[in-house]
Structure formats: C-alpha cells, structure tokens
C-alpha cells in the first residue's frame, strides 16, 4: 500500500478574525500547518498534497520541500477540498490520509496507530474520534444501537439529542482511495452551511466505518479561534518544557519559560524564570540563562551566563558573561570568556576572547581584540549621519571611562586611552591617546567666590 496525504488548508478561518490565513498562525514559532506536517514523521508518505486557497502563495512559502499543493479556488467545504487534493495526489497512492491544517497538537504516534488500525480492519475508512467534556462546535459521531459508527453530523446541523453526544470527529481519516473517489462525487451541499462536507462520505463507504478513539483528546484539538490558538500554544509549550527537562535542563519554574519548536538546549543548563528562547536558538551545556532573557536565533557556548538580556541573532562564546541589562543586536559575536555587562548595547561587533565591555557602553561596527577592557561609558560613534564606519580596537587595550571612538578609527594593541577622550585619530600600538582639554586648577577659588557672594549680599541689604 502506498500512502498519500491530503492536508486541508484552504480556509480563511473566519473565526480567527485575521487577515492571515488560519494555518499560518504560529505556535512556538511554527505555523499550524507545519505542526500538522510534523505529525507525519513516522508514516513516510509517498506523496503529500496540501490544499491551499486563502493566501495560497503565503501558505506555499512555508511548506517544506517535497510537499505539493492543490488549489481550491472557492472554499466549498472540506469534501470539495479533499476532491481538489485527490486530483493532484500521485496515482501511485492507493490509500489516503486526510488531515486538517488546523490541528497542531497531532502526534506522530496517533497517525501511525490510525494507519495500523486501518490496515488490520476490514472497512474502507478509519477515522479518529475523541470523547470531550465539552464537544463545542465539533462534528458529532453518530453510532447505531450496536455501537457501530454510522456517520457524523456537524454541530450546526445537529438536533438536540445529537448535540448531546460527546464523541467528536477529529477530522482525521484514512481511506482506501478507490472507495473515497467513488463516494466523494456523490456528496451534496444540502446542509446548514451549504458546503460539501467530507464526513458525509462516511455512510457511503460500505458497512464498516472504523474508528480510533484518541486516548488523549488534547491531541486532536482544532484551532478555530484565537482562544483555541492560545490553548494549543500552552499544550505545546508544556511538551517542549517537558522534553527539555527530560533532556537534562533544569527549570525551577517551567511555566515561565517559552520555547520555539526548533530550539536546542544542552544538558545541565539552567533556565531561570522569564526566559524566552526563539527561532533557531541553541544553548550548549552547563549554561545559566535568566532570569528574564529573550534570545532569538542566537547561539550560546558551553558554560556561558546570560542574565536579564535581549539577544538577537548573536553568538555568545563558551564561558562568556552577558548582563544584567544588556542588549545584543544582530551580528554581535562575543568570544569565549568575554563579557558584555550592565546597560551595554552591541551591534555587528566582535568582542575578542576574554575582552570586557562591562558598563554603560554602545559598541557598534567594532572589532575588539583579545583581553581588551573597555572602560565605563564608552561609545563607538559609528554613524556620520550618512554612512556607518568601523572601529578597530586591538588586543590588551585599556580604554578610559567615557571615551568616544569616532569611526573610522584604529587603536593598536596594548594601547590606552585617557578618560573622557574623543578619539578621532588612530592610536599606535602601546601608546596612550588623550583627547580632551587639559585641567586648569584655580587656586583659592572657593574662598574668593564666597567673599564675593557675601559682599554682594551686604550691598543688597543696604539698598
Ligand atoms: C471539521 C469537520 C468536523 C470536525 C472538525 C475537527 C467538516 C465539515 N467538519 O469542522 O466534523 O469535528 O473539523 O476539527 O469537515 N478547509 C478547506 N476548504 C474548505 C473548507 C475547509 O481547505 O472549503 C480546511 C480548513 O482550512 C481547515 C480544515 O479544512 O484547515 C477544516 O475546516 P474548518 O472550517 O476548520 O472545519 P471545522 O468546522 O473545524
Ligand atoms: Mg476546524
């Protein structure tokens, strides 16, 4: 048997109240459709077709290679969408798994179990159902007196007795293709929504409608509103937190740590409360991150410490220290054992091994050599109002507090700068750069000033 997959994803998702197609709304940084496709991990389909319609090009743009699309120009219902998918599905596929693009909690195991049950059974279709406390707007599964499934009625078409049923249609089915193709042409749209409903094929597919009741009803939840979206986000966050902890990550309060789907965290790393790890972020072993950090598309080396920081598309080396209160903007490359400290902003800069930018500085378009120490309150003035320029600071340099480096400028190895200097010219290796007015002390000034003030006050009294 060759398995084909049709994923229905053409709907706008009216109830989302969004300009964005529903299946592109994200959970843990991955669109809903991406989560659905990830549930195919264990079944190795021969061909997968996603039925697109609303925002077709945007949806196509997020699909992985090897997944094809079929266009459903008008959204005439899930049955019609399935037909569009079948038209594109490779003729090699004689068995068809149909999924909805809005069920992000699906697990690979459920799909594998469904296919195994279908293979073992006799019917031409096996569907997934779930028993819920509140069946809400889901289609209700109808069974006869012997408990055999006879079909599905949509909530909008259901009578009171049917609405009271709490077994729901999960919208996940595996069909023998020939039977499905024969039945689907016979389904009309005489119902509350005037749509061609896919579940209406069920009674047309022979005597046996197989049903797998999901043991975890969460797994089949469909996202139709933003409330559902947040509920599913929570479930996925719980899964990601659990996976991280089982992988050796310490989290004293996991409920405050948020992951994106592809984040990787090493063993013996501690994630303190208020940590958000986004995009392709990778944290190595033995790090301490948090409290209160956001890292986006960034890499952190072994044993690094990051406290109260916002880190974007940057690299933090092994044993490096960041924060508290640091802002690492894109292309910051903090080498091993280096430090970016308190109230420091960096951008497109390399900070060499063991170098330190501990306090109150802006470092942009700069290269800072190994072992250099940047004094408090230093600024690389990288922008002349028109273009950006680079600052190069060598190895083992010590800069004084409150220096400005007016780029382009180069500071040699082992050089120093005096506090309060505005450095506009290069400094050779080993030299001290001073660029500030020389101090002039007025001896006895305080006494004279006091005397003048006293005299002025007395003259004022006499007036
Ligand atoms: C559907 C089922 C319902 C089931 C529920 C499970 C039908 C008629 N009803 O209802 O029995 O309990 O899923 O979550 O199938 N779509 C298209 N083209 C269309 C219409 C829909 O591609 O013309 C896609 C949507 O983008 C969506 C999926 O099909 O991804 C399901 O559509 P939706 O409108 O969410 O159906 P439900 O009302 O949830
Ligand atoms: Mg739905």
Asked whether residue 264 falls in the same domain as residue 338, the answer is yes
- Residue 13, domain CATH: 3.90.550.10
Domain boundary among 166, 185, 220: 220
Atom of ligand 1 nearest to the CA of 224: 35
Q: Which ligand is nearest the CA of 154, by number? A: 1
Residue 446 counted as domain residue: no
CA–CA distances in Å: residue 103 to residues 107, 139, 200, 330: 10, 14, 20, 34
Residue 129 counted as domain residue: yes
Residue 408 counted as domain residue: yes
Q: CA neighbours within 13 Å on the CB side: how many for 380?
A: 28
Which residue from 314, 239, 237 is spatially nearest to 283, judged by alpha carbons? 314
pLDDT of the residue at 462: 55
Instruction: Annotate 129-178 with DSSP letters as a single string.
Output: EEE-S--TTSPEEEE-TTS-EEEEE-GGG--HHHHT--EEEEEEEEEEHH
Which residue from 345, 347, 321, 319 is spatially nearest to 333, judged by alpha carbons? 347
Asked whether residue 82 falls in the same domain as residue 184, the answer is yes
Asked whether residue 186 falls in the same domain as residue 276, the answer is no
Domain boundary among 220, 253, 285: 220
Residue 443 counted as domain residue: no
With a cut of 70, list the residues of the chain below it in pLDDT: 461-463
Asked whether residue 343 falls in the same domain as residue 414, the answer is yes
pLDDT of the residue at 219: 94
Residue having the nearest C-alpha atom to atom 31 of ligand 1: 100
Residue 55 counted as domain residue: yes
Residue having the nearest C-alpha atom to atom 11 of ligand 1: 139
Asked whether residue 46 falls in the same domain as residue 128, the answer is yes
Q: Is 77 in the pocket of ligand 1 (CB under 6 A)?
A: yes
Domain boundary among 220, 235, 258: 220
Asked whether residue 215 falls in the same domain as residue 247, the answer is no
Residue 451 counted as domain residue: no
Residue 262 counted as domain residue: yes
Residues 286/300, Cβ–Cβ less than 8 Å: no
Residue having the nearest C-alpha atom to atom 3 of ligand 1: 139
- Residue 284, domain CATH: 2.160.10.10
Q: Rounded CA gap, 366 and 375, in Å?
A: 15
pLDDT tens across 178-203, in order?
999 999 999 999 999 999 999 999 99
Distance 123 CA to ligand 2 centre (A): 25
Which residue from 145, 121, 100, 87 is spatially nearest to 206, judged by alpha carbons? 121
| 359 counts as catalytic | yes
pLDDT tens across 237-254, in order?
999 999 999 999 999 999
Q: Rounded CA gap, 388 and 407, in Å?
A: 8
- How many domains does the chain fold into? 2
pLDDT of the residue at 460: 84
Q: Roughly how many angstroms between the first and final C-alpha of the chain, as a whole number?
A: 112
Residue 448 counted as domain residue: no
Q: Rounded CA gap, 281 and 364, in Å?
A: 22
CA–CA distances in Å: residue 406 to residues 149, 170, 424, 434: 77, 64, 5, 14
Q: Rounded CA gap, 54 and 77, in Å?
A: 13
Residue 374 Cα to chain centre, angstroms: 34
Asked whether residue 214 falls in the same domain as residue 247, the answer is no
Atom of ligand 1 nearest to the CA of 200: 8
Asked whether residue 279 falls in the same domain as residue 334, the answer is yes
Q: Tell me the residue range of the domain where 257 lies.
A: 243-433
Instruction: Annotate 365-416 with DSSP letters as a single string.
Output: SEEE-TT-BPPTT-EEE-B-SS-B--EEE-TT-EEPTT-EEESSEEE-TT-E
Residues 401/358, Cβ–Cβ less than 8 Å: no
Residue having the nearest C-alpha atom to atom 29 of ligand 1: 8
Asked whether residue 206 falls in the same domain as residue 60, the answer is yes
Distance 81 CA to ligand 1 centre (A): 10
Q: Rounded CA gap, 334 and 287, in Å?
A: 15
Distance 224 CA to ligand 1 centre (A): 9
Q: Return all residues near 114 (Cβ < 8 A) that are at least 6 apart.
A: 97, 126, 128, 172, 174, 212
Residue having the nearest C-alpha atom to atom 8 of ligand 1: 197
Asked whether residue 251 falls in the same domain as residue 212, the answer is no
pLDDT of the residue at 12: 83
Q: Which ligand is nearest the CA of 137, by number? A: 1
Atom of ligand 1 nearest to the CA of 221: 14
Asked whether residue 277 falls in the same domain as residue 340, the answer is yes
Atom of ligand 1 nearest to the CA of 171: 6
pLDDT of the residue at 463: 54
Asked whether residue 193 falls in the same domain as residue 271, the answer is no
Distance 171 CA to ligand 1 centre (A): 7
Q: Is 204 in the pocket of ligand 1 (CB under 6 A)?
A: no
Q: Which ligand is nearest the CA of 106, by number? A: 1
Q: Is 400 in the pocket of ligand 1 (CB under 6 A)?
A: no
């Amino acid at each position: 048997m060759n398995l084909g997959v049709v994923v229905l994803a053409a709907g706008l998702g009216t109830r989302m109240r969004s300009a964005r197609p529903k299946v592109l709304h994200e959970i843990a940084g991955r669109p809903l459709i991406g989560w659905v496709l990830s549930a195919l991990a264990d079944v190795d389909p021969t061909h997968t077709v996603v039925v697109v319609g609303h925002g077709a090009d945007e949806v196509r743009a997020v699909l992985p290679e090897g997944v094809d699309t079929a266009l459903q120009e008008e959204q005439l219902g899930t049955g019609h969408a399935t037909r569009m998918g079948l038209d594109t599905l490779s003729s090699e596929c004689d068995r068809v798994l149909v999924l909805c693009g809005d069920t992000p909690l699906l697990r690979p195991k459920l799909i594998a179990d469904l296919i195994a049950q279908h293979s073992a059974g006799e019917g031409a279709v096996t569907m997934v159902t779930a028993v819920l406390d509140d069946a809400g707007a889901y289609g209700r599964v109808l069974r006869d007196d012997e408990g055999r499934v006879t079909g599905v009625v949509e909530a909008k078409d259901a009578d009171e007795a049917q609405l009271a049923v709490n077994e729901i249609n999960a919208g996940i089915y595996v069909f023998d293709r020939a039977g499905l193709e024969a039945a689907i042409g016979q389904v009309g749209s005489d119902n509350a929504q005037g749509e061609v409903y896919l579940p209406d094929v069920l009674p047309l597919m022979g005597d046996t409608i197989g049903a797998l009741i999901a043991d975890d009803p969460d797994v089949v939840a469909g996202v139709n509103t933003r409330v559902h979206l947040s509920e599913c986000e929570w479930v996925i966050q719980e899964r990601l937190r659990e996976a991280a902890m089982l992988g050796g990550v310490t989290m004293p309060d996991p409920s405050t740590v948020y992951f994106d789907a592809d984040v990787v965290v090493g063993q013996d790393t501690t994630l303190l409360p208020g940590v958000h790890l986004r995009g392709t972020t990778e944290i190595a072993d033995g790090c301490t991150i948090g409290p209160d950090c956001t890292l986006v598309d960034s890499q952190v080396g072994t044993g690094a410490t990051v406290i109260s920081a916002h880190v974007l598309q940057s690299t933090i080396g092994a044993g490096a220290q960041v924060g508290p209160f640091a802002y690492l903007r894109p292309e910051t490359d903090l080498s091993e054992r280096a430090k970016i400290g308190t109230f420091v902003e960096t951008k497109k800069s390399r900070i060499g091994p063991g170098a330190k930018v501990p306090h109150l500085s802006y470092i942009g378009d700069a290269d800072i050599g190994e072992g250099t120490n940047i004094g408090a309150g230093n600024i690389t003035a990288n922008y002349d109002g028109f273009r950006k320029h680079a600052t190069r600071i060598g190895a083992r340099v010590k800069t004084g507090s409150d220096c400005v480096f007016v780029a382009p400028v180069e500071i040699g190895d082992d050089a120093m700068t005096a506090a309060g200097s505005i450095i506009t010219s290069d400094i050779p290796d080993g030299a001290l750069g001073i660029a500030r007015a020389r101090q002039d002390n007025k001896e006895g000034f305080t006494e004279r000033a006091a005397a003048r003030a006293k005299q002025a006050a007395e003259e004022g009294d006499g007036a």
